[in-house]
Amino acid sequence: MVTTQRLPTSLTPLDTALAAVLRDVALVAPIELSPADALHCIAAEMPAARQYPPHDVAINDGWAMRANDLVGASSYAPLAQAELPVWVAAGAAMPDGTDCVVDDDAVDSSGPLPQVLTEAIPGQGVRRAGSDIAAGRAVMPAGEPLLPRALLLARAAGLELLRVRRPRLRVVNIGNGELTAQLIADTARLAGAEVICTTVTPDVAAVASRLDPDGCDLIVTIGGTGVGHTDAVVNALVKNGALIAHGIALQPGRTAAVGRIDTIPIVALPGAPDQAFAAWWAIALPVLDRLSGRRPRKSLTLPLERKIASGVGVAEVVLLARGQGCWDVLATGDLSLDPIARAEALLIVPGAAEGFAAGTAVDAYILRE
């Protein structure tokens, strides 16, 4: 969805705007959530986990026995037992004094005494205590997003509450930007934010009233950032004494703005999905990551499949997909919805660069966790 719009008379370099809005942004305080509610949140420092499994357990159904008692047993030389061994189901605790599990047909119980028909080795058919989670290890290092595999460890370790950092994000939709507002809200939730959405008419006083820092750690507005008669966000920021910069040297997303009320950062995104998507990744997401204490996002270095040309003075967003050992360029600067949906990685060409030649190795942010 490529859009055109009247631009501010001057543009602030992306690095300058980002540094200004990030200034004095501190980590939010940790909270405790159940594993069900902690999905996608960013891990804070957590207590050491208990070992799992807590004791030796059977991997499969069978007879629990002691391997040293079975030395020499075979179908040609069955080893008689005084009593029938203990049968264990998969996942059950191993009985005291046993260290292996043999299959059902390894014990012949048809005669007066049960006979074992095979040898075994210690640990055969057994998952040792602590083999899945060692005692004392962290379920997830602080700063990592809690994805389903990490929550599996947390539940296995018996953690009923997890310490996480979950910034509170208020998304203020100006006018008719529902499509873009939903994109940003969904993306923010995947980044670990608690999202509250509200809609307001494109009126300066109405918008200014919604820029209330109480109860949130970051405010993101959608739409109303241009210089037209209905573009009320910038005037609302000025009215609240909150404007830092309007007009960012970013393509797409030049009409974005940044501000601050008290200690709460504000990022005003354009209403068009392509411009909002670019400005979200370039400005708003770094603020959210700073608040949550997230570790640096994953990136991948590959050579470019073709040349990227970029104008000096404006940072450009490039969407990429992984090709045969290289980055295929899907879109540069002007982004339509299809490349946004298909992109696997995102590259921001610095404003001081003229682009990159074909074959240049570039480090791109991975869009998909």
| Helical spans, DSSP H, in 94-243 | 148-156, 178-190, 204-210, 233-239
- What's the Cα-to-Cα distance from 197 to each of 69, 168, 222, 226, rounded to whole Å? 67, 11, 10, 21
Please tell me the predicted confidence (pLDDT) of residue 9.
64
Q: Which stretch of 16-30, 230-244, 246-260, 352-366 has the lowest confidence by average pLDDT? A: 230-244
Both structure tokens of 270: 């354009």
Inform me whether the pLDDT recorded for 2 exceeds 50: no
Is pLDDT at 230 greater than 70 in this prediction? no
119 Cβ partners below 8 Å, 6+ apart?
A: 67, 70, 71, 72, 73, 74
Kindly report, residue by residue over 290-335, the tens digit of the pLDDT.
Answer: 999 999 999 999 999 999 998 889 999 999 999 999 999 999 988 9
pLDDT at 318: 97
pLDDT (tens digit, 9 = 90+) per residue, 242-273? 899 999 999 999 999 999 999 999 999 999 99
**pLDDT of 151 above 50:** yes
Q: What pLDDT does 7 receive?
A: 56
Please tell me the distance from the alpha carbon of residue 61 to that of residue 63, in angstroms, as a whole number: 7
**Cα distances (Å, whole numbers) of residue 313 to 13, 284, 317:** 8, 21, 13
Q: How far is the C-alpha of 188 from the C-alpha of 267, rounded, in Å? A: 13
pLDDT higher than 90, residue 139:
no
What is the share, in percent, of the chain residues with pLDDT greater than 70?
Answer: 96
Domains of the chain: 12-28+167-292 (3.40.980.10), 57-127 (2.170.190.11), 299-366 (2.40.340)
More confident: 2 or 68: 68
Question: Cβ contacts of residue 24 below 8 Å, gap of 6+?
Answer: 263
The predicted model gives 151-167 an average pLDDT of: 92
- Tell me 328's DSSP state: E
Higher-pLDDT residue of 35, 231: 35
Give pLDDT, residue 275: 95
Amino acid in the structure at residue 306: R
**Cα(14)–Cα(5) distance, integer angstroms:** 19
Phi/psi for 288 (5° steps) reads -60, -40
- Cα–Cα dist 209/231, whole Å: 16
- What whole-number percentage of the chain has pLDDT above 90? 82
d(CA 312, CA 45): 43
Q: Which of the 8 DSSP states describes residue 105?
A: G
Residue 8: the pLDDT is 60
- In 159-263, the DSSP E strands lie at 162-165, 168-174, 194-200, 218-222, 243-246, 248-251, 257-261
What is the reported pTM?
0.84
Average confidence score pLDDT of the chain: 92
